[in-house]
Every structure is written in C-alpha cells, then in structure tokens.
C-alpha cells in the first residue's frame, strides 16, 4: 500500500494588498456615485423628492412605473445614502438625505445643455390620479395610499 502525505498549505495574506482593497480611491467614489444614479428612474425620483418628500404611491403615479420597481430604485438610493425616510401612519415618505445631490444633477444638466425648466416641472408636477396626502390634502391622511385606477376615475 502506498501512503499519501497530505500537506496543508496555509494561505499567505499580504496585508498591504488587503488594505489597498479596503481604501477606496476618489475616482472609485465618484464612479460609485454615478453608478448609483445610473438609471433614469432614479434621477427622476431625486428630482421629485428634491423639493418635497413623497410617498411611493405619488412616485408611482408620476412616473407610471410599478410600485415594486420604484421600491427597488428607492432601496438603491437609500443604500447609497441619498434618500432617507419618515413614517407617518400608513405612509412612508422619502426625502433627499443629501441636498447637494440635486445641485450635482443640475450641474450635469448644464454640462449637457439641458434646460432646467423641464427638470423643475418634474419636481413640481402633481398627478390627478394620485390619492396621496401631497396631491390630495383634502383626503383622509389615514386612507390607504394607492393611485386611483381608471375605473375609479370614471
């Protein structure tokens, strides 16, 4: 019979390589910022909540995107530290945690020669199909926050 010798190889870690991976460079931070805003829906959400906080149903009515998709975008923005929340009864309101982000987006629009008028219209837009307290302050604030369907409007 042959005997096999097993040699245990201990991994060697170079502490300098590990430390370099933990320390982000400024260009990596900027790339991460741009990546977090890399979808047009996220940019639209930032413009909408820049002026005033909004609930998911308000964003759903304005952007015509399903609630689940909006929640995913909000989660990404929240993870990046751009958005914070406030609960009021059944409503969760989202607001900009870093107001300087909107200045960054306006500067980007200026570089791309986009007029700020169209961006400000998005921020101030109210949706007739939205039943949230922001769009319909006369409604009961404790009501379930859902956009009205076309059958409810008629």
Q: pTM here?
A: 0.71
CATH architecture observed for domain 40-153: Orthogonal Bundle (1.10)
Nearest to 61 by CA among 142, 128, 139: 128
Per-residue tokens: 130? 């939205």
Query: For the packed helices 100-111 and 40-51, what is the interaxial angle rounded to 10 degrees?
Result: 130
d(CA 86, CA 16): 42
Which residues are registered as beta bridge partners of 118? none
- Assign 140 a pLDDT band (cuts: 50, 70, 90): low
pLDDT tens readout for residues 32-84: 888 889 999 999 999 999 888 888 888 888 888 999 999 999 999 999 999 99
């Amino acid at each position: 019979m042959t005997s096999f010798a097993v040699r245990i190889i201990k991994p060697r870690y170079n502490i300098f390589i590990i430390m370099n991976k933990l320390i982000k460079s400024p260009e990596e931070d900027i790339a991460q910022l741009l990546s977090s805003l890399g979808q047009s829906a996220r940019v639209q959400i930032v413009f909408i909540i820049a002026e005033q906080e909004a609930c998911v149903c308000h964003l759903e009515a304005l952007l015509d995107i399903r609630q689940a998709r909006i929640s995913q975008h909000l989660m990404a923005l929240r993870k990046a530290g751009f958005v914070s929340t406030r609960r009021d009864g059944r409503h969760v309101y989202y607001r900009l945690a870093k107001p300087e982000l909107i200045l960054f987006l306006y500067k980007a629009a200026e570089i791309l020669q986009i007029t700020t008028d169209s961006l400000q219209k998005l921020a101030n837009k109210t949706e007739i199909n939205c039943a949230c307290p922001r769009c319909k302050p006369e409604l009961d604030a404790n009501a379930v926050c859902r956009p009205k369907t076309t059958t409810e409007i008629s």
